[in-house]
Amino acid sequence: MTYFQALIIGIFQGITELFPVSSLGHSVLLPGLLGWHIDQSNPIFLTFLVATHTATALVLFFYFFKDWRRILSGMAQSLKERDIQAGGLYGTLGWLLVVATIPAGICGLLFQDVLQKLFASPQIVAGFLILNGFMLLGADGLRKKRSAEKKSAAVDEHVTRLSWPQAIKVGCAQILALIPGFSRTGSTIGGGLAVGLSYEDAARFSFLLATPIIGAASLLKVPELFTTPGEIAFLGPTLLGAVVAGFFAYCSVRFLLKYFESKKLWPFGVYCIAVGAIASLIFLR
């Protein structure tokens, strides 16, 4: 991978990670559509993608730093008192995020090799992107229903009313995002809507949920850049891609927090179906 290729993929990853259009799907499709000869089945490519996601996770952590400070403080208090309720609203929110992270974390570890093979199959990923589009259209129907419900409390108070089984259900929805072509943001917002959260609540929970799952993947994969001889040579393009991804992720989260207050998911669904269909036709040639 050249520096220019790393730059372009980093830009697309930073933009699409938080938009519900699958950053992994775009990262797999882009080299094939542009005719780049990149071995996407190579573990180094996956490490590169994890590094760009790490930059996104760091941006989200610092963007929501005040919230994370309260969350971590609340969790520490609940551990000290050995009572989840002792951590208050933010402590409860923190443990819900932990519980919701577990399903995708387990599946990511168990099926890492199987999922990695999909990175070398842009034709299959294009099909998954189409399915992601239909998932977003379905979630938009739930959005309309939840938006019509009267809200009577602050966003985080609504979220902390989730039961542990409901948090696990949202976490199970996040498993879809392990498959290139499916969006983490779209799947977790859809999962949040399905368990009764309003659109705004589900979007906020989705953004907070991004940090622990991406952070866990980073702890596993990013150290390989510094410990494996073949990957040390790839450090420069990876750092460039990560920095660029982080910048565009910051721009994206600022835009989407406003957008998700009242706007719809269906434009993203139509986009995914269109791009997936066009890519499928191109790869069939």
Task: Give tens-digit pLDDT for 206-260.
Answer: 988 988 888 877 777 777 666 666 556 678 888 999 999 999 999 998 888 888 7
Over residues 111-126, the mean pLDDT reads 83
pLDDT of residue 144: 67
- In sequence order, which residues have a C-beta less than 8 Å from that of residue 91 and are 6 or more positions away? 71, 73, 74, 75, 77, 78, 84, 85
Average pLDDT of the segment spanning 121-139: 91
Spatial separation of the C-alpha atoms in residues 271 and 251, rounded to whole Å = 20
Contacts 24+ apart (CB under 8 A), 115-118: 115/178, 115/179, 115/180, 116/41, 116/43, 116/46, 117/41, 118/28, 118/179, 118/180
The residues near 101 (Cβ < 8 Å, ≥ 6 apart) are 171, 174, 209, 212, 213, 216
Tokens of 143: 């959005």
pTM of structure: 0.83
Q: Is the pLDDT of residue 152 over 50?
A: no
Beta-carbon count within 10 A of 269 CB: 24
Number of C-alpha atoms within 13 angstroms, CB side, residue 219? 7
Residues 68-75 have a mean pLDDT of 92
| 89 dihedral zone (left: phi>0; alpha: psi -120 to 50; beta) | alpha
What's the whole-number mean pLDDT along residues 162-177?
92
Half-sphere exposure of 69 (CA within 13 A, CB side): 5
Secondary structure letter of residue 94 according to DSSP: H
pLDDT band at 17 (very low <50, low <70, confident <90, very high): confident
Asked if pLDDT for residue 147 goes beyond 90, the answer is: no
Most confident by average pLDDT, 80-84, 90-94, 258-262: 90-94
Return the pLDDT at 248: 93
Evaluate if residue 154 carries a pLDDT over 60.
Answer: no
